[in-house]
A and B are shown apart, each in its own frame.
Chain A
């Protein structure tokens, strides 16, 4: 099966997929894009290898920092933050690559089952086509930061493909070549997948699922090779499972931590969430909910609501059916178990948010294989028409949804309408209304949101800003913010980020002179709440120092910055504080701070932070930066006019 004729169908599908996604590429950056992509500008110019390494090590999403995904942003770095188009374009390209890889993987599975090549190829293209054109992936493909999910899927598929081709080589007697591929696939691609997103760690487990459920009827012939394969794949799979199991005890502690649910409640709820996903996959909708998932009510026990038990019983039954079917209906068994296994990390008891559409991106990959197989197997009902209608339907839904993603305000409206209970969706819409001067409408939406979620910090803060835009912040709006602040989990980085987002505009005079008083009130409340968060207290002190600097109170600012350094010492913070003082003309204070010995690197933090600290110390980064900064400040001081110091190279991880 070579030549144009056999490749035309998949090419047509890829072309159609590209076309339906195209209008969505002109959409804006959203939510988490900003914090993650901001790193592109923080590590300094990315034409120096050291800066590149520094950048790659500075990711904060997940314990690995996801350096492979971070690396994938570098070619588009020049377009940040003005133009999202190239970022979304690369995402789309990856989605197309994934569709192509999926078709190859499915074809490999089917040929390993000794299906005729023509049938295998047609089935594979159709199954991959349904998946590629499914509208559920719009929120994965067109959300820049989901590059992480897309890349992890790419490497997982490459891993599966290498494994399957290696396995075929072993079966064909070319053991040496085969083993090389299996190891490259499971370990090489597995590593790249994990470094794209932690979910990639599931690769070995997924290989086992494909082997056990998808290829049960046609195992590798010799027992020895089978055992070896089991060992090579089983060991890393075991590692993943034991990692997951190590978090099992949290189920019985009942500590919610920073989330509004305990791990046990989350596990219960996820049973229902999985069926919710399946419903969306089977009956695709135009705009199922966008990026918001706050609406799913929590399960508090197996029978509250009763659907919890039903959902879990259903999942268990599905698994048992898969066990029974794996000999006779392997595609069905594979579809079920791949979906379940693919959700093992993100949809069980690890304390992540409850639900996201993108979590289905990889798990749903084999879901449409049984359907494709059934359609290809028909001979009475017209096949071609059915295929065209089915794909055209999916394509038009995806086109409509992608088109919506290309229109920020229309999208915000649709989200707010679909998620009347989601504070985030409503706040997002309100801020967009504010951009066109619709102060009354923004206030109305926020008031309505605060009625339902009186403790929502984001809604409260935005309500305050709306009041400022209207010219008169009242005591009431301030009190609402203070109440929300008191209720917010201050240990949560999201809360800290939100508080800073409120303080900064107040400091910059967004609410006029009254804003200063509000700043003081909020600042004191946050300071008191954060008594166990020294790092965050340091952050708050920096905010206040900025206020002092704006007022020309150099000494007060210097004192705040020094106190901040005492609370959270670090070479980066010290250099940044010096640069800050210098940029406001306080050269002597800046030099004095600079001359103090740099504190040693931090001890704690997730894996990636330690690696970064170790590496920066090894290349003497901070000493070099200190020299550079001192020279710049001295030059500036020598100049007649005090002017801002260029401090682009001072990193603030």
Chain B
């Protein structure tokens, strides 16, 4: 793959790769954070992954994230756990390797891109030689990618982008071969389709790969082969690129518009759309001129836009974005590289920063879009340089800019080298962020030696503070109860009241439910004191009453009834009620079958088992079902 070419050998990239590795190295020592817990640490299928097909298959289907469960990312975690155990440094090192791999692919792709028929005539020899190298170097060193690289679970993002870049590379090379009169029209599209599939099964944003390709085709190739418009290319583009995009919109838009999916978010669809305009500018600032204090894992304290003029920057932001988009269109003939770069930024945000009911702000969403911004910037700089009186100024400016990017990355990586330090820094920078404060409390409680340790008291104080913040979820309250109950100390009644109030007055977010689940788990595993079970039972009863459509709440309540009170009949009733609301949940059906088997309702249990099989499309629960089936046939 690496070979010398007029655009410069790939070996020229080696220093940038080594430099990036060195800058990130301090961060490899850090630990797991936030979403690593539900996806990896608390995920039994991944924790206990072994090198056998059944175990790996279960692990692949085990992630609670995203509608497609991201099986390839999970597989990569499972393989690593199976071979190296559950060690954060090794996992971060693998993430770093993926980052460097992405850099290499980006370089190779850009090197092919500058030969595209609509781009080659617009770039000078110097641009041709320098553009791929400079863009890739900047991209490799940029601190905005730090959360993608050192945050283990974000391998989902980087691995998906790895496949996307491979798809773009295969596509561009295939199209260049066609220009040279070699290769068949289906080849680039077949490669693109395969890579799109892999990228999408790593993280759903991989479905944007065809959108990038469409942009690339429109700007760099113009749907032409030689001088003629190519019907074959247009046909395949329709099938391989347009169709998935249209299908994605058709599958996701109605749900977002229905309003129901926004229920658990502290913002509405309109508010999200308004706010994202300002957030995109925040991203642009962080990409172009990163400042350490602005970069963070947590942005849940980003102020919402409530209307076009509240705050007024909302309107300004959107006008600015319109200008940027206009610029991309104006430039598409004169400077197609810059146009493509801006287009990539918009394309990359088309899904995650628009109508979907996701959280507002995440730096890792810029992993590939940032490459587009760098492409536009570097291309602009390279064009400007020859016109300056002393082009060397541009070189100096570029080096200074790289030092800024790389230096910030190094400082961030150092912050990340120690989980407690990281949590402390984040909480100080984002005093209003419930997440950052919760995480600090969590880290303090993990390192504390028990009630005598001052860090224990500090952890409790941090959780108390976090619980009071606006838009706080139930995680801090859960942590307070967890820590206190584990020590056998009495729980403050207000905490239970606060939980009951939340359960009765607002929609429960995923974080809220995971907090409740953690408490149920704590009680059923006898980590928390048994005398706290009735209070938790009351909270869950309130939650069941107020969220009649939410199966997970019923399932939690059932789990508590079964394990803390040995109330099989009550658990069965709750599970049945949960299934009446979400009859297509294979895990609920299996849990019901297990309880029915225990209660001796064998005919029902067998039928429930069948239902579970009907909805467990990939056999994730096959082993558990087989075990129960054997037990039922034996008795």
Contacts and interface: CB of A to CB of B under 8 A. Distances in A.
B604 A436 contact: yes
B239 A385 contact: yes
A438 B576 contact: yes
Contacts of B579: 438, 441
B232 to A, nearest CB: 5
Interface in A388-414: 388-389, 407-410, 413
B583 interface: yes
B594 to A, nearest CB: 13
A380 interface: yes
Contacts of A82: none
Contact of A413 (B584, B592, B610): B584
Contacts of B243: 389
Contacts of A408: 614
Nearest to B604: A437
A314 B576 CA distance: 50
Contacts of A386: 235
Given A409-B611, A409-B614, A410-B584, A440 B576 contact: yes
A47 interface: no
Given A385-B238, A441-B580, A436 B608 contact: yes
A435 B610 CA distance: 11
A29 to B, nearest CB: 15
B614 A410 contact: yes
Contact of B238 (A384, A389, A441, A444): A389
Contacts of B614: 407-410
Nearest to B611: A409
Given A382-B234, A386-B235, A437 B596 contact: yes
Contacts of B589: 436
A638 interface: no
A331 to B, nearest CB: 24
A193 B424 CA distance: 82
B576 A437 contact: yes
A385 B611 contact: no
A619 interface: no
A530 B572 CA distance: 45
Contacts of B583: 409, 413
B51 interface: no
Contacts of A440: 576-577, 580
A408 B611 CA distance: 9
Contacts of A413: 583-584
A430 to B, nearest CB: 12
B238 A436 contact: no
Contacts of B596: 436-437
A445 to B, nearest CB: 9
Given A381-B231, A413-B583, A436 B236 contact: no
A444 B615 CA distance: 23
Contacts of A382: 231-232, 234-236
Nearest to A382: B235
A436 B611 contact: yes
Interface in B589-605: 589, 592, 596, 601, 603-604
A617 to B, nearest CB: 46
Q: Contact residue range for chain A?
A: 20 to 34
A606 B601 CA distance: 48
B592 A436 contact: yes
A285 to B, nearest CB: 14
Which of A407, A410, A437 is the most central at the interface, judged by chain B CB atoms within 10 Å of its CB? A437
Interface residues of B, number: 27
Contacts of A409: 583, 610-611, 614
B607 interface: yes
A160 B565 CA distance: 72
Contact of A388 (B234, B239, B607): B239
Interface in B215-242: 231-232, 234-236, 238-239
Contacts of A437: 572, 576, 596, 601, 604, 608
B607 A436 contact: yes
Contacts of A389: 238-239, 243
Nearest to A388: B239
Contacts of A381: 231, 235
Interface in B534-583: 572, 576-577, 579-580, 583
Contacts of B607: 435-436
Interface in B225-264: 231-232, 234-236, 238-239, 243
B236 A441 contact: no
A435 B607 CA distance: 7
A583 to B, nearest CB: 27
Contacts of B601: 437
Contacts of B604: 435-437
B621 to A, nearest CB: 15
A441 B573 CA distance: 11
A380 B231 contact: yes
Contact of A441 (B231, B576, B592): B576
A289 B579 CA distance: 23
A407 B616 CA distance: 11
B232 A385 contact: yes
Contact of A385 (B236, B572, B577, B615): B236
B379 to A, nearest CB: 34
A438 B580 CA distance: 8
Which of B572, B601, B608, B611 is the most central at the interface, judged by chain A CB atoms within 10 Å of its CB? B611
A433 B604 CA distance: 10
A381 B231 CA distance: 6
Contacts of B576: 436-438, 440-441
Contacts of A444: 580
A219 B311 CA distance: 79
A85 to B, nearest CB: 16
Nearest to A380: B231
Nearest to A445: B580
A441 B580 CA distance: 6
Nearest to A407: B614
B1 to A, nearest CB: 30
Nearest to A438: B576
B588 to A, nearest CB: 11
Nearest to B239: A389
Interface string A520-531: 000000000000
Which of B584, B596, B604, B607 is the most central at the interface, judged by chain A CB atoms within 10 Å of its CB? B607
Nearest to B231: A382
A386 B589 CA distance: 42
Interface string A309-336: 0000000000000000000000000000
Contacts of B611: 409, 436
Interface in A407-443: 407-410, 413, 433, 435-438, 440-441
A413 B585 CA distance: 13
B235 to A, nearest CB: 3
Contacts of B238: 385, 389
Which of A385, A409, A438 is the most central at the interface, judged by chain B CB atoms within 10 Å of its CB? A385
A384 B185 CA distance: 12
A408 B577 CA distance: 21
Given A436-B592, A437-B604, A385 B610 contact: no
Contacts of A384: 235
Nearest to B572: A437
Contacts of B592: 436
A389 B242 CA distance: 12
A579 to B, nearest CB: 31
B86 to A, nearest CB: 37
Interface in A425-471: 433, 435-438, 440-441, 444
15 contacts: A382-B231, A409-B611, A409-B614, A413-B583, A435-B603, A435-B604, A436-B604, A436-B607, A436-B608, A437-B572, A437-B604, A438-B576, A438-B580, A440-B576, A440-B577
Closest 7 CB pairs of A and B: A382-B235, A385-B235, A437-B604, A407-B614, A441-B580, A435-B607, A436-B607
Interface of B: 231-232, 234-236, 238-239, 243, 572, 576-577, 579-580, 583-584, 589, 592, 596, 601, 603-604, 607-608, 610-611, 614-615
